[in-house]
């Protein structure tokens, strides 16, 4: 069967025990059946589904370097997620740091952005250090992949793609992380 998008082989190497997973861009993370943006009357249901999917996926893949996704109490277009700075960026001080996920008005047609420049300075410091002070943006293949979902992709899909491409773009991607990519 012909596939437009590649399948990426993920090799998890926690404590040198080798576990191989495959992530298929098209089907591994379940789609969200509610297509609604922040201005839609179904937005609250969409938010519930986003959080449910995140929690289910975290149980399936506990090595995923994100946890505790929740909606901000002050803004309906802002989610908060905790990021494992050591796993994602190789930060020696490590630990979990809270980072915002900003939802555009035309979401889910457009993907969210991670990090608020006003409040997430530590996240951006790690990201800049990890990419040798180069700006990081999602590659164009993700835009095509996102549009193919037609509003059924969500925050979980975005975070998974972000974790893979930030690993590829990182200055020390050869380091022993819990997810190392073999393309």
What is the band of 49 on the pLDDT scale with cuts at 50, 70, 90?
Answer: very high
Residues 26-36 have pLDDT tens digits of 457 788 889 99
| Per-residue confidence (pLDDT) for residue 114, from 0 to 100 | 87
| Per-residue tokens: 62 | 């506990």
- The range of the structural domain enclosing residue 60 comes to 32-175
| Per-residue confidence (pLDDT) for residue 8, from 0 to 100 | 54
On whether residue 146 sits in a domain, the answer given is: yes
DSSP 3-state of 79: strand
On whether residue 17 sits in a domain, the answer given is: no
Helix axes 155-169, 121-130, angle to 10 degrees: 40
Residues 124-174 have pLDDT tens digits of 888 887 777 766 677 777 778 788 878 888 898 888 888 877 777 665 544
On whether residue 183 sits in a domain, the answer given is: no
Complete edge-to-edge strand list for the sheet that includes strand 7-12: 19-24, 7-12, 180-182
Q: How many domains does the chain have?
A: 1
What is the band of 2 on the pLDDT scale with cuts at 50, 70, 90?
Answer: very low
Cα–Cα distances (Å) from 179 to 42, 117, 165, in that order, read 35, 27, 12
If one compares 71 and 128, the residue with the highest pLDDT of the two is 71
User: Chain-wide mean pLDDT for the chain?
Assistant: 77
On whether residue 13 sits in a domain, the answer given is: no
| Per-residue confidence (pLDDT) for residue 15, from 0 to 100 | 46
| Per-residue confidence (pLDDT) for residue 179, from 0 to 100 | 47
Share of the chain above pLDDT 90, in %: 21
On whether residue 132 sits in a domain, the answer given is: yes
Complete edge-to-edge strand list for the sheet that includes strand 66-71: 66-71, 78-84, 96-102, 113-114
On whether residue 182 sits in a domain, the answer given is: no
Residues 79-115 have pLDDT tens digits of 999 998 888 877 777 688 999 999 999 998 888 888 8
How far, in Å, CA of 162 to CA of 55, rounded? Answer: 18
The CATH number of the domain holding residue 137 is: 3.10.110.10
On whether residue 54 sits in a domain, the answer given is: yes
């Amino acid at each position: 069967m012909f596939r437009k998008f590649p399948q990426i082989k993920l090799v998890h190497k926690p404590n040198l025990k080798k576990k191989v997973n495959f992530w298929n861009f098209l089907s591994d993370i379940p789609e969200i059946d509610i297509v609604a943006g922040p201005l839609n009357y179904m937005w609250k249901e969409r938010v519930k589904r986003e959080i449910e999917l995140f929690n289910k996926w975290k149980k399936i893949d506990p090595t995923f370097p994100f946890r505790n996704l929740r909606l901000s109490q002050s803004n309906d277009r802002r989610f908060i997620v905790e990021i494992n700075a050591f796993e994602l960026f190789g930060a020696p001080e490590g630990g979990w740091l809270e980072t915002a996920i900003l939802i555009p008005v035309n979401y889910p047609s457009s993907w969210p952005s991670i990090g608020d420049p006003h409040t997430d300075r530590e996240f951006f410091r790690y990201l800049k250090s990890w990419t040798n002070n180069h700006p990081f943006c999602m590659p164009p293949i993700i835009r095509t992949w996102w549009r193919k979902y037609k509003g059924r992709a969500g925050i979980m899909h975005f975070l998974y793609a972000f974790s893979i491409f930030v690993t590829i773009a990182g200055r020390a991607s050869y380091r022993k992380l819990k997810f190392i990519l073999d393309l």
